[in-house]
Amino acid sequence: MSQIRIEIKKEESKIKTLVYQDNILTELYVEDVNKKRLEGNIYLGIVKDVVKGMQSAFIDIGEEKNALIHVKDILPKESNVTGNANLDTEKYEIQKLVKPGDKILVQIKRDCDEQKGSRVTKDIKLTGKYIVLMPYTQFITTSSKIENEEERKRLTKIVKTHIPKEYGAIIRTSSNNVEEEKIKNDIEELSNIWKEILNKSNQNGPKKIYDNNGLIGKLITDFKPLGLEVYADSEETKNYILNNIDKNQEIKVKEIKEVADMPRKVWLKCGGFITIDKCEALTAIDVNSGKFTGKTELEDTVLKVNLEATKEIARQIRLRDIGGIIIIDYIDMEKEKDRKAVKEEMQKQIKSDRSKVQVLEFTKLGLLEMTRKHILGR
C-alpha cells in the first residue's frame, strides 16, 4: 500500500508532500504554496521570436515569462527509444518550422526558474492510471519494469486493440496484470481529454487549456492504481484537493508528523554512515565504516557496511529526488566478487524507484557511477 500524506502550512507558505511505501518514507517534496508547478500543463501559445543561431523559439504562453522551445521539440519523434536525442538538427531550419505570430500547442516539460522561462515541447503526453497517451506519436512501448515477456505482449495487444490508430502510448508499470476493461477505460478517458484540448486550441491565445494539477495531482495519478491512502492535515487541505485536484479521491484528516530536514550525514543501523554532497555537475556520496568494527574478517566487515549503505543510498536518492550524475565512493573492496555483489544489490534496490536509474560500472578508482532522472523537472 502506498500512502501520500499532504501538509500545507500557510504561515510558512509551504506545501509539504510525503510519500510512504510499506510505512517507509520514500519521497518528500516541499513547494511554495503561491507558486504552483507547471510541468505537464498544456498551453495555446503564440510564437514571439525565432532565434536561428539557437535553433529555438520563444513562446508567449500567458505566464510571467516566455517559454523556450528547441527544434528537437518541434519535429516528430524519430525513435520510440531515444526520441529526438540523436536528431541531426543541422538538417533543419527552425525559421521554416515556426514564425512569429504562429499559434502553437505546447506542453511544459521543465518548469521555469528565477532566470529562465519554462521549456516546452510539441510532443504532448497525457498521463493516465495505466498508460501515457501520445497523440502525435504512433509508437506503442511498454515500461521496461514490466519484465515478463508474455505480459508485455498481452498489454501491447490490449492497447493496440483499443487505442485510436493515429495515437501512440507508453504502457505504464501500473498496468502489470491489470484487466483489459480498466486499460480500455483509461484509453477512452485520455482520448476524451485530448478531444477537449483540441477543441480549446481553436480559441485565441495565449492561454492555458489543460492543467496537470501540479505535484499533488501527479502523485495521486501515479499511485492510485497501486492502492492509495491520502491524509491531509486539515479539512481546508482536504477540500482544496477535492475541489482543485481529484474530487473522487478519498481523503482522511489527521495530524501529520513533522519530518526533519534531510541532513548531509545519514547513519546506518550497523554504525557506519554515508555523506551526501550536491555539487554543480554531480552528486557525490561517500560511505564510511564509522562506529562499525564487525566481528569477522575485515573484508566481510567492509562488504556488510557497503551493502547496508547501498540500500540506504537507493532510498536517499529517491527521497531527495537526486538527478543527474551520481558518484558513490564505497569503502575499498579488494575482491571483484564483493564489488559485483554491491552492484547487484544496487540494481535490486532501484527497481522500486519510479524514475529512470542507470547503474554503470565501478571505475579504476573504485567509484560506482550512476545516473538518475528527476521525478520533477529541474
Tens of pLDDT, residues 183-237: 999 999 999 999 999 999 999 989 999 998 888 888 888 888 877 889 888 898 8
Q: What mean pLDDT do residues 43-72 have?
A: 94
Q: In this model, does residue 84 exceed pLDDT 70? A: no
Residue 377 within a domain? no
Q: What is the CATH number of the domain that holds 46?
A: 2.40.50.140
Tell me the pLDDT band of 378, cut-offs 50, 70 and 90: very low
Does 190 lie in the same domain as 165?
yes
Percentage of the chain lying above the pLDDT 90 cut: 56
Angle between helices 180-200 and 149-162 (to 10 degrees): 50
Does 341 lie in the same domain as 272?
yes
Q: What mean pLDDT do residues 78-82 have?
A: 63
Tell me the pLDDT band of 85, cut-offs 50, 70 and 90: low
Residue 302 within a domain? yes
Residue 84 within a domain? yes
Rounded distance, CA 213 to CA 219, Å? 10
Does 351 lie in the same domain as 272?
yes
pLDDT of residue 11: 61
Q: Cell triple for residue 288?
A: 564510511
Q: In this model, does residue 9 exceed pLDDT 70? A: no
Residue 79 within a domain? yes
Q: What is the CATH number of the domain that holds 248?
A: 3.30.420
Residue 93 within a domain? yes
pLDDT of residue 13: 77
For residue 125, give every residue at least 6 positions away whose Cβ sits within 8 Å of its Cβ, in sequence order, or none.
Answer: 107, 132, 133, 134, 170
DSSP letter for 44, please: E
Does 78 lie in the same domain as 147?
no
pLDDT tens per residue across span 274-326: 999 999 889 999 999 887 665 556 777 899 999 999 999 999 999 999 999 99
Q: Give residue 107's domain range.
A: 42-123
Q: In this model, does residue 29 exceed pLDDT 60? A: yes
Instruction: Give just the sign of the alpha carbon dihedral 377, 166, 159, 197.
Output: positive
Query: Which of these, 137, 240, 249, 109, lies nearest to 194 by C-alpha position?
Result: 137
Q: What mean pLDDT do residues 43-53 have?
A: 95
Q: In this model, does residue 45 exceed pLDDT 60? A: yes
Q: In this model, does residue 47 exceed pLDDT 60? A: yes
pLDDT tens per residue across span 90-136: 788 899 999 999 999 999 998 887 778 899 999 999 999 999 999 99
Does 340 lie in the same domain as 246?
no
More confident: 375 or 162: 162
Q: In this model, does residue 328 exceed pLDDT 70? A: yes
pLDDT of residue 369: 97
Number of domains forming the structure of the chain: 4
Does 368 lie in the same domain as 270?
yes
Model pTM above 0.95: no
More confident: 29 or 261: 29
Question: What is the number of helices (H) and of strands (E) in the chain?
Answer: 6, 21
| Domain end (from 99, 123, 147) | 123
Does 69 lie in the same domain as 132?
no
Does 178 lie in the same domain as 88?
no
Does 279 lie in the same domain as 185?
no
pLDDT of residue 292: 65
CA angle 99, 105, 111 (to 5 degrees): 100
Q: In this model, does residue 336 exceed pLDDT 60? A: yes
Q: What mean pLDDT do residues 331-354 have?
A: 93
Does 355 lie in the same domain as 281?
yes
Does 336 lie in the same domain as 279?
yes
Residue 206 within a domain? no
Does 25 lie in the same domain as 111?
no
Residue 259 within a domain? no
| Domain end (from 77, 100, 123) | 123
Residue 208 within a domain? no
